[in-house]
C-alpha cells in the first residue's frame, strides 16, 4: 500500500508490433489529462521498422527493440521483461503486439498485463477478428480489454465496447469503427486498473466503485 497522499505514478510499458494507434491514443489521453496518475515509461517493439516505434521516438518516449524472429520465445521474453524492469514498469499494455507471451513473462507481471482485442470476446479470438465477425454476420461487434493469461485472448475481461454492424459496412469500415472504440476503451481500462478499485472473482473483474477517469 502506498502511504496516503503519496500515490506514485503508474509507469506503463507498451508493447507494439505495428502502426501503434492504440499506443498513440493512450499517449493522447495522458497528454490531454484524461488519464491521470499514469506515464509511459517505455515503448517496446519486436519489429524494428514498426511505424508505431518511429512515432514513439518522434514524441520523445524511451523505446527499445527486441527482434523476436528466430529467437527462442523464453529468451526473447526474458530480454523484454528485463527492459521493463529496468524502466520500472508497473503495468504492461499490449497494443497490437503480435506475439504470444511465455508463461514466465506472464508470471513476472501477475494481473499486470493488459491486451486489447478487436472483438467481443470470447467470440473471434485470434487474427483478423474484425473480418471473422463480418464474415460470420454478427449484428453487434466491438472490442475487449482484458488481463493476459497463458491462453490466447482469454484472461479476465476488464471492459468491452460494442457497436452495431451496419448493412452498409464492409470489413474495412467495420474495423475502422471498432478501432475508434478501441482508442476510448484502452485508456478507460487502464484507469480502472490503476484505480485498484476492483477484485477478480474467478474470471470476473468486478469493480468496487466508479473510477475517476478524468
Ligand atoms: C488493434 O486492432 C488491436 O485490437 C489488435 O491489434 C490492432 C493494433 O492496432 N490487438 P494498432 O497498432 O494499435 O493501431
Domains and CATH numbers, the chain: 6-110 (3.40.50.170), 116-214 (3.40.50.170)
Nearest to 64 by CA among 74, 73, 81: 81
203 torsion bin: left (phi>0), alpha (psi -120 to 50), beta (else): alpha
Does any ligand 1 atom lie closer than 6 A to the CB of residue 95? yes
Does any ligand 1 atom lie closer than 6 A to the CB of residue 155? no
Identify the residue whose cell numbers are 499517449. Answer: 27
Q: How confident is the prediction for the chain on average, in pLDDT?
A: 94
pTM: 0.94
- Report the nearest-CA residue for atom 4 of ligand 1: 117
Percentage of the chain modeled with pLDDT above 70:
95
More confident residue, 84 or 212: 84
The pick from 43, 181, 182, 189 for probing ligand 1's pocket by mutation, whose C-beta has the most ligand atoms within 8 angstroms, reads: 182
**DSSP 3-state of 131:** helix
With bands split at pLDDT 50, 70 and 90, how would you rate the model's confidence at 209? confident
The pLDDT tens digits of the residues spanning 106-159 come to: 999 999 999 999 999 999 999 999 999 999 999 999 999 999 999 999 999 999
Q: Ligand 1 centre from 158 Cα, in Å?
A: 17
The pick from 116, 158, 187 for probing ligand 1's pocket by mutation, whose C-beta has the most ligand atoms within 8 angstroms, reads: 116
Identify the residue whose cell numbers are 497528454. Answer: 31
With bands split at pLDDT 50, 70 and 90, how would you rate the model's confidence at 195? very high
With bands split at pLDDT 50, 70 and 90, how would you rate the model's confidence at 1? very low
Task: Return the number of other C-beta atoms located less than 10 Å from residue 59's C-beta.
Answer: 14
User: Which residues lie closer than 8 Å to 118 by C-beta, 6 or more apart?
Assistant: 129, 130, 143, 175, 178, 179, 182
Task: Quote the pLDDT of residue 7.
Answer: 72
The CA angle 166-189-83, to the nearest 5 degrees, is 120
Amino acid at each position: 500500500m502506498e502511504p496516503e497522499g503519496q500515490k506514485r505514478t503508474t509507469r506503463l510499458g507498451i508493447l507494439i508490433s505495428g502502426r501503434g494507434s492504440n499506443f498513440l491514443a493512450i499517449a493522447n489521453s495522458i497528454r490531454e489529462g484524461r488519464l491521470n496518475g499514469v506515464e509511459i515509461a517505455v515503448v517496446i517493439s519486436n519489429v524494428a521498422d514498426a511505424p508505431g516505434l518511429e512515432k514513439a521516438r518522434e514524441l520523445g518516449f524511451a523505446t527499445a527493440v527486441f527482434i523476436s524472429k528466430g529467437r527462442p520465445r523464453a529468451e526473447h521474453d526474458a530480454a523484454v521483461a528485463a527492459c521493463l524492469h529496468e524502466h520500472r514498469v508497473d503495468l504492461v499494455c499490449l497494443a497490437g503486439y503480435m506475439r504470444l507471451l511465455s508463461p514466465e513473462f506472464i508470471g513476472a507481471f501477475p494481473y499486470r498485463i493488459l491486451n486489447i482485442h478487436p472483438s467481443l470476446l470470447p467470440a473471434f479470438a485470434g487474427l483478423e477478428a474484425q473480418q471473422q465477425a463480418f464474415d460470420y454476420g454478427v449484428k453487434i461487434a466491438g472490442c475487449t480489454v482484458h488481463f493476459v493469461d497463458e491462453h490466447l485472448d482469454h484472461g479476465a475481461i476488464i471492459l468491452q465496447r460494442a457497436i452495431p454492424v451496419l448493412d452498409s459496412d464492409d470489413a474495412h469500415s467495420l474495423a475502422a469503427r471498432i478501432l475508434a472504440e478501441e482508442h476510448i476503451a484502452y485508456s478507460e481500462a487502464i484507469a480502472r486498473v490503476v484505480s485498484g478499485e476492483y477484485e477478480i472473482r474467478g474470471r470476473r473483474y468486478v469493480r468496487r466503485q466508479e473510477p475517476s477517469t478524468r
